[in-house]
């Protein structure tokens, strides 16, 4: 059965009043030891849409679930056709001012780490060393049978060779690199399998319906334990994969500050939610004398 991703939550208690003053975030950075947790909203200024913001992709698109991918040849054909096309646009995305500011915070010794829910690799491209990809990365592929990991570029070349002339125009690109195509556009797209064992391939990302690997979760929990505070950038925190770290920090008495235009599921655990655009706000914070 197709699983719908979590789209909304029921607010509990009084809402956290938002502020347009970035001072709460500045205070965390001035104290140092900040763990950054970023979501899809950080990459929107790079041309990658988010899931749940205004005009987000979930309003028109349900991401492929792990269960559908492994059980349905038709679903795999549809997924790989859309993903193969989407990767061309997705791969052209470049770090925006927000990613560059986070890298600057790291260079100035203000951060204890960066955890991202994004699969686009833009933190790393901006220069953030040691970024933890909570949900994996689209730049590699894993075989579900033998576990071999290979670069996504190798698979792209094989799919191009197997599908000469495949070049439809997508209606939109989604945060998971999936392009919106009709069944007619997908046509008889040919899927290729693992060159080593013939097993099924999937991007090395956590699909809806999958769990984040336990060792990765524990690594992130350890980062929260070592951090002095948590700064959440561009995440609605709707799903538990990110929200659990906000709850952990709050339960430990560590300050949590969110920078997100819309209310989030983590608001009630936070000291403040700064409702400002990420790029200009983070650039301003990175340019302050105290960070130089």
Distance CA 57, CA 148 (A): 31
CATH fold for the domain made of 19-291 = Rossmann fold (3.40.50)
The annotation status of 241 as a binding-site residue, yes or no, is: no
The annotation status of 53 as a binding-site residue, yes or no, is: yes
Q: Summarize pLDDT for 29-50 with one digit per residue, the tens.
A: 999 999 999 999 999 999 887 6
- Range from 55-59, 82-86, 93-97 that averages highest in pLDDT: 93-97
Percentage above 70 pLDDT, the chain: 86
Candidates 61, 84, 135, 269; catalytic one: 135
Radius of gyration of the chain (CA): 19
The annotation status of 46 as a binding-site residue, yes or no, is: yes
pLDDT value, residue 49: 79
Query: Partners of 229 in the beta sheet?
Result: 34
135 is catalytic: yes
HSE value, Cβ hemisphere, 13 Å, CA-based, for 107: 13
Q: Summarize pLDDT for 239-281 with one digit per residue, the tens.
A: 899 999 999 999 999 999 999 999 999 999 999 999 999 999 9
Residue of 265, 280, 210, 208 lying closest to 232 (CA atoms): 265
CB 19 within 8 A of CB 272: yes
Q: Summarize pLDDT for 202-218 with one digit per residue, the tens.
A: 999 999 889 999 999 99
The annotation status of 40 as a binding-site residue, yes or no, is: yes
HSE value, Cβ hemisphere, 13 Å, CA-based, for 141: 25
Q: How confident is the model at residue 136 (pLDDT cuts 50, 70, 90)?
A: very high
Query: Partners of 232 in the beta sheet?
Result: 37, 258
- Range from 30-44, 74-88, 179-193 that averages highest in pLDDT: 30-44
pLDDT value, residue 56: 43
pLDDT value, residue 187: 87
The annotation status of 58 as a binding-site residue, yes or no, is: yes
Distance CA 118, CA 113 (A): 15
């Amino acid at each position: 059965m197709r699983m719908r991703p979590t789209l909304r939550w029921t607010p509990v208690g009084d809402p956290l009043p938002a502020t347009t003053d970035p001072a709460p975030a500045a205070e965390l950075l001035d104290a140092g030891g900040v763990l950054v947790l970023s979501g899809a909203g950080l990459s929107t200024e790079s041309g990658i849409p988010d899931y749940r913001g205004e005009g987000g992709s979930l309003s028109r698109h349900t991401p492929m679930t792990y269960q559908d991918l492994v059980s349905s040849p038709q679903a795999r054909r549809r997924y790989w056709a859309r993903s193969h096309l989407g990767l061309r646009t997705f791969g052209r995305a470049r770090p925006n001012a927000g990613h560059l500011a986070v890298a600057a915070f790291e260079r100035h010794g203000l951060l204890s780490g960066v955890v991202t829910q994004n699969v686009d690799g833009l933190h790393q491209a901006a220069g953030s060393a040691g970024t933890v990809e909570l949900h994996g990365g689209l730049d590699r592929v894993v075989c579900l049978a033998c576990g071999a990991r290979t670069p996504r570029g190798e698979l792209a070349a094989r799919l191009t060779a197997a599908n000469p002339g495949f070049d439809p125009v997508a209606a939109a690109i989604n945060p998971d690199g999936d392009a919106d195509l009709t069944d007619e556009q997908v046509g008889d797209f040919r899927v290729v399998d693992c060159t080593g064992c013939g097993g099924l391939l999937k991007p090395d990302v956590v699909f809806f319906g999958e769990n984040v690997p336990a060792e990765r979760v524990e690594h992130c929990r350890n980062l929260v334990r070592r951090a002095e505070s948590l700064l959440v950038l561009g995440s609605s925190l709707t799903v538990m994969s990110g929200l659990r770290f906000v709850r952990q920090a709050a339960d430990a008495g560590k300050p949590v500050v969110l920078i997100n235009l819309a209310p989030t599921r983590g608001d009630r655990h936070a000291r403040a939610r700064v409702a400002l655009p990420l790029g200009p706000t983070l650039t301003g914070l990175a340019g302050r004398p105290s960070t130089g």
